[in-house]
């Protein structure tokens, strides 16, 4: 048995025993769906400077530029993306009664497309546009993008309902996520570099409250040596497939 295989066994045993499991996911879980991550080789922030285009100050100063440089490209990528075995594996763990909630930093909607029922969109959703002046929200698909930025019925610009750098996380979502992290017995941390706060702190909260932290990522991260109990080094889809198959056998 390889080292990875024996670690997957350990992780499967921990997952199968958990009454309350929670997952924290990041861009890496969607890489196998054709969506590049933000950091590292081939990452989006290698091509564009996030402080120039993904900060709220940039959006407020020049919405048209941010739409053209960031939002349009992401919208195009997400339009064709389908869930992969990483997303469906988490849905399966939910069906088995082992995973309560997926907290995702992703704005791609793929956990919901895969059928997960309880998903916290920590950084919002790119599928929803909201007005920069009034409370109105629209489905991205329903808004013709003939004019960039598109306009709300009130005449103001629309923007995707995502959290940009410099913006706070919704207090209700933050509190619920922190509570889930504090109460879970297992936290699966899948495809995140764990560099952006406050999401990156959720595994720390879980660990301090006694949870087993299982990390799935092809590369070691900030969490690997001090926070993670079991690190499964590999792509999310392949590792989740194997993990779920072994968990199912233990049920
Ligand atoms: N499977 C699992 N993980 C993978 C895969 C894969 N196939 N491919 C890459 N990864 C890992 C990388 O090794 C990296 O650790 O996914 C991680 C992606 O890290 P980031 O690009 O930093 O993404 P994320 O952690 O989600 O970023 C957090 O930063 O810019 C913001 O708002 C953005 O929500 C995002 C936040």
The per-residue pLDDT for range 169-184, each reduced to its tens digit, is 999 999 999 999 999 9
Residue ranges of the domains in the chain? 1-35+83-123+169-251, 40-80+125-162
Distance CA 157, CA 83 (A): 31
The residue whose C-alpha atom lies closest to atom 6 belonging to ligand 1 is 235
Measured CA to CA, the distance from residue 127 to residue 197 in angstroms comes to: 23
pLDDT (average), residues 160-173: 97
The predicted structure's pLDDT at residue 26 = 98
1-35+83-123+169-251: CATH topology is Rossmann fold (3.40.50)
Q: Give the model confidence (pLDDT) of 59-103 as tens digits.
A: 999 999 999 999 999 999 998 899 999 999 999 999 999 999 999
Beta carbon of 221 within 6 Å of any ligand 1 atom: yes
| CA-50 nearest atom, ligand 1 | 30
Q: Given the structure tokens 């087993």, which residue do they identify?
A: 212
Tabulate helix, strand, coil % of the chain (nearest 5): 45, 20, 40
Residue 194 contacts residue 188 (beta carbons within 8 Å): no
Atom 36 (ligand 1): residue with closest C-alpha?
196
- The pLDDT of 14-38, averaged and rounded, is 97
231, containing H or E segment? strand 230-233
Predicted TM-score of the model (pTM): 0.97
Homologous superfamily assigned to 40-80+125-162: SIR2/SIRT2 'Small Domain' (3.30.1600.10)
Each residue of 189-242: pLDDT tens digit? 999 999 999 999 999 999 999 999 999 999 999 999 999 999 999 999 999 999
Any atom of ligand 1 within 6 Å of the Cβ of 246: no
CA Rg value for the chain: 18
Say how many residues make up the chain: 251
């Amino acid at each position: 048995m390889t080292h990875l295989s024996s670690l997957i066994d350990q992780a499967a045993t921990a997952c199968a025993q958990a009454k309350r499991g929670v997952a924290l996911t990041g861009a890496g879980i969607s890489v196998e769906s054709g969506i590049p991550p933000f950091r590292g080789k081939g990452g989006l922030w290698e091509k564009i400077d996030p402080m120039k285009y993904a900060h709220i100050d940039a959006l407020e100063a020049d919405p048209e530029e941010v739409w053209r440089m960031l939002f349009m490209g992401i919208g195009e990528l997400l339009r064709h993306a389908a869930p992969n075995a990483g997303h469906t594996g988490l849905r399966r763990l939910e069906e088995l009664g082992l995973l309560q909630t997926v907290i995702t930093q992703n704005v791609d909607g793929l956990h919901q497309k895969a059928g997960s029922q309880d998903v916290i969109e920590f950084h919002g959703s790119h599928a929803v546009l909201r007005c920069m002046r009034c409370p109105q929200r629209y489905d991205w698909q329903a808004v013709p993008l003939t004019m960039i930025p598109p306009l709300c019925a009130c005449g103001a610009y629309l923007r995707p309902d995502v959290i940009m750098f410099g913006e706070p996380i919704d207090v209700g979502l933050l509190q619920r996520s922190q509570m889930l992290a504090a109460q879970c017995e297992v936290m699966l941390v899948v495809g995140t570099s764990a560099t952006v706060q406050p999401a990156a702190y959720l595994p720390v909260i879980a660990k301090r409250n006694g949870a087993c932290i299982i990390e799935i990522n092809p590369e070691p991260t900030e969490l690997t040596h001090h926070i993670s109990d079991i690190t499964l080094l590999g792509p999310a889809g392949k590792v989740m497939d194997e993990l779920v198959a072994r968990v199912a056998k233990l049920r």
